[in-house]
């Protein structure tokens, strides 16, 4: 990804801004690797917070979860949510190579929001800009490309509603 585009987004175009962002990126990259191999769940959550992911209280983050490495601060996770192992949560999409496709698919940076009490099972992929409603469940292996209402079970590729959850029963 061209660094100038990232620096523009964060308003760090000056010489010192570049140096500041360079250190921030290296620290986030290092912490990403530490969190990836961390065996203690509470430490993983803390490390991802240090990386810039906005994480609520009582959140569980499984092993080998990958958060967007460049725009970590554009990811928000509500209180008491659970993120399953090997889940991928992104906040931007772009074509890093210089091709004609960049004209068709320009860079997109969008907030990705996971509500309160959400259960994301293992191996889920969440696209940039998706909002997942409170107390929703995302089934193993789902690819979430659109917003998810509260209290539903989503499954499939692409994910779709397979069940409305009645939590009062």
Residue 38 and residue 44 in contact, taking contact as beta carbons nearer than 8 Å: yes
Question: Which residue is associated with the tokens 């772009």?
Answer: 94
Rounded distance between C-alpha atoms, residue 48 and residue 61, angstroms:
9
Helix (H) or strand (E) holding 18: helix 15-37
CATH 3.40.50.150 fits 3-164, yes or no: no
Per-residue pLDDT, 157: 96
> What does DSSP say about strands 160-164 and 152-155: parallel, antiparallel, or unpaired?
antiparallel
pLDDT of residue 169: 60
pLDDT of res. 151: 97
Q: Which residues are catalytic?
A: 92
User: Among residues 42, 68, 165, which one has the least CA distance to residue 125?
Assistant: 68
pLDDT of residue 105: 84
Chain position carrying tokens 């499954």: 155
- pLDDT at residue 58 in the model: 97
What is the pLDDT tens value at each position of the chain, 169 positions in all? 467 778 888 888 888 988 999 899 999 999 999 999 999 999 999 999 999 999 999 999 999 999 999 999 999 999 999 999 999 999 998 877 778 888 888 888 999 999 999 999 999 999 999 999 999 999 999 999 999 999 999 999 999 999 999 877 6
| CA gap 158, 135 in Å, rounded | 20
Tell me what pLDDT residue 2 has: 63
């Amino acid at each position: 990804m061209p660094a100038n585009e990232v620096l523009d987004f964060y308003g760090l175009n000056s010489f010192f801004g570049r140096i500041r962002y360079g250190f921030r990126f290296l620290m986030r990259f290092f912490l990403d690797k530490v969190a990836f191999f961390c065996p203690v769940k509470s430490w993983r959550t803390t490390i991802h917070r240090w990386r810039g992911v906005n994480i609520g209280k009582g959140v569980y983050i499984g092993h080998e979860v990958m958060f967007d490495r460049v725009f970590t601060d554009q990811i928000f996770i509500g209180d008491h949510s659970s993120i399953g192992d090997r889940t991928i949560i992104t906040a931007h999409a772009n074509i890093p190579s210089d091709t004609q496709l960049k004209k068709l698919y320009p860079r997109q940076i969008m907030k990705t929001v996971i509500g309160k009490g959400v259960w994301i099972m293992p191996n889920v992929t969440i696209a940039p800009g998706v909002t997942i409603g409170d107390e929703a469940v995302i089934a193993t292996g789902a690819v979430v490309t659109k917003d998810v209402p509260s209290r539903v079970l989503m499954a499939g590729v692409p994910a779709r509603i397979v069940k409305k959850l009645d939590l009062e029963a």
